[in-house]
Structure 1
């Protein structure tokens, strides 16, 4: 049974289907929340609020195939609410970003480079390259046009190339 079938069951009130859905997307939610709020406590708060709101409002999900996009939008709104409430940024301990990438060193370098990007580009890169969302899905999640997503990805690629490619303004990182 795929996610959209489970989402349809959850919409109809099946609590076990909802739990299955949350477990299926929890790693993605963690990575996205972490890239926005920058610390474990706020990340946990955002995820908890997101799951609570999603559970309470699952009946409003119009298209079960877009469950992941729908819950990511809720998460981003919660993260932004936390940031507005706190009005400050926390440094990110990279060893706490646990994902399924090759190794610890590559993972640290990847997130260090992403953190060098302008803030609006960080979330686009995380959603596109780390979470593997399409341009269309990102535009729905962030509530911006597909053209805006594409232009931000273009700018992010330019900034990334300046950071990692030698001869482009003195690269700060070397690719191994």
Structure 2
């Protein structure tokens, strides 16, 4: 968990504290950017712009406990800007299937399945379950109501359950992915 004191120090101009905050959030930010952009060069661009904007404006962050929400909002905005400027949309066809057969059981990486969800569903699942943001933090990050976040989570959970429905042998139902 990010220390509020570290955020305060970064906000007060401590470069080392800012660098450490970025190290602590780098993997989570990278995964979110990858789930939205699907191209490493675009992810790198979004990450670089996010770090630059965060560094430039961290002094305006009033509530240190909302650092994660704030930094994710910057990243999501950057990803959306890149997608709009390049006229790209991410489709299910862009996602490679990486499942393999072992000992009569089909193995699927949970993140691969989550990455195949609709954009809005994927985003709330990642923020809630992988990044441990609360419903209210997600609502602030995405600039939607808490009810909208709850509805997206419910639809995402239902979609994931449908993707993991087993057939009579207990193996993964790949047709639903």
Matches within 5 A, 1:43-58: 43-58=43-58
Which residue of structure 2 aligns with residue 25 of structure 1?
25
In the alignment, which residue of structure 1 is the partner of 2:126?
126
How far apart, in 2, do the equivalents of 1:94 and 1:5 lie?
43
Distance 2:69 2:48 in 1: 17
Tell me the equivalent position of 1:14.
14
Which stretch shows the higher mean deviation, 86-95 or 20-29? 86-95
Q: Provide closer, same or farther for how the CA distance between residues 143 and 51 of structure 1 changes in structure 2, counting only shifts above 3 A.
A: same
Alignment of 1:58-97 (within 5 A): 58-89=58-89, 91-92=94-95
The two structures, once aligned, show a CA RMSD in angstroms of 2.5
Cα distance in 2, alignment partners of residues 120 and 64 from structure 1: 26
The number of residues matched between the two structures is 162
Any stretches of 5+ residues in structure 2 without a counterpart?
99-105
Q: How big is each residue's C-alpha offset from its partner over 1:45-99, in whole Å with a ceiling of 9 and x where there is no partner?
A: 000000000000011101011111111100000000000011124635688xxxx
Any stretches of 5+ residues in structure 1 without a counterpart?
Answer: 96-104
Q: Deviations over 1:84-143 (max 9, x none)?
A: 011124635688xxxxxxxxx96x632332233222111111111222211111111111
Q: Normalising to structure 1: TM-score of the pair?
A: 0.83
Moved over 6 A (4+): none
Q: Which has the larger radius of gyration?
A: 2
Aligned to 1:135: 135
Shift of 1:32: 0.7
